[in-house]
Structure 1
């Protein structure tokens, strides 16, 4: 594993343990050259999934994009990181076990929306405002009233 500080090729594993959701192995490493310590995560990847974006552009599935979006939507909501990791891992497993080599970006967005709807209504509305491209206050009002009808918290 390349050191993120000095780019040396070798590091030593100092500690390994399962992550909180048991979906990854967390490893503490130490660079053999500069001595810096850093953490890596090892996850199972069932298959290489391509994301079909609008305009027929394709790119490899990137878990970090979902992590960033979910983290931003849940910012200052007091939701435990473990619950966010479970949501993200669940979406990733769902995508990888669909049996398809390609998945539409829209389908991923809907999975995130459904997960956030069940997790936190404010985070759900935040994500939807960007995902559905709200342009006016009326868009928020209409969407928020539909969330209340669904029984969001």
Structure 2
């Protein structure tokens, strides 16, 4: 089976698919490829894309949605956190499906950020705070303090309860 997938080693356009199977997430196809020109072997993944999404930045600039960029930013926020890679992949797939199902191909970057924060908050609070610190562009320690106090409003206002036995 021939295809127009460029070899990452030598740039040859005609590479051969040697094996195809569902990826572990069952929403993509994993293909092992061989380049007949240099003998290089590599893997590609193919997944369904319901529609071409466009990210509308805060300054009005528009750019094509990049799933890999989304995945990188999420993985950075989850670095050294006890979250299984499969769970991260499921979360990314869920975010992309949610974005594709919003009904509009133009998606404000704010919407993406809010959906990512909502998803991270459900699986790891530290990653959530890390992502939020970049997304919300924290400049001062007080920005973190304010954000964390919003996370746990009860912690900031904790005062000892009066003991009814002492009353």
Q: Which has the higher helix share?
A: 1
Instruction: With the length of structure 1 as denominator, give the TM-score of the two structures.
Output: 0.93
Q: 2:34 aligns with which of 23, 30, 36?
A: 30
Displacement of 1:91 after TM fit?
0.7
Write the distance in 2 (CA, Å) between the matches of 1:142 and 1:15. Answer: 52
Larger deviation, residues 54-63 vs 16-25? 16-25
| Residues 111-126 of structure 1 mapped to structure 2, 5 A cutoff | 111-126=115-130
Q: What SS is found at the alignment partner of 1:98? A: coil
Structure 1 gaps of 5+ residues are none
Q: Structure 2, unaligned stretches of length 5 or more?
A: 155-167
What TM-score comes out, normalization by structure 2 length? 0.85
Residues 1:43 and 2:47 aligned together: yes
Say whether residues 1:92 and 2:96 are aligned partners: yes
Residue of 17, 27, 34 corresponding to 1:13: 17
Q: Kindly report structure 1 stretches of 4+ aligned residues shifted beyond 4 Å.
A: none
| Alignment counterpart, residue 56 of structure 2, candidates 52, 59, 65 | 52
Aligned length: 150
RMSD of the TM alignment (CA)?
Answer: 1.3
Bigger Rg, which one: 2
Structure 1 counterpart SS, 2:130: helix
What's the secondary structure of 2:152's corresponding residue? helix
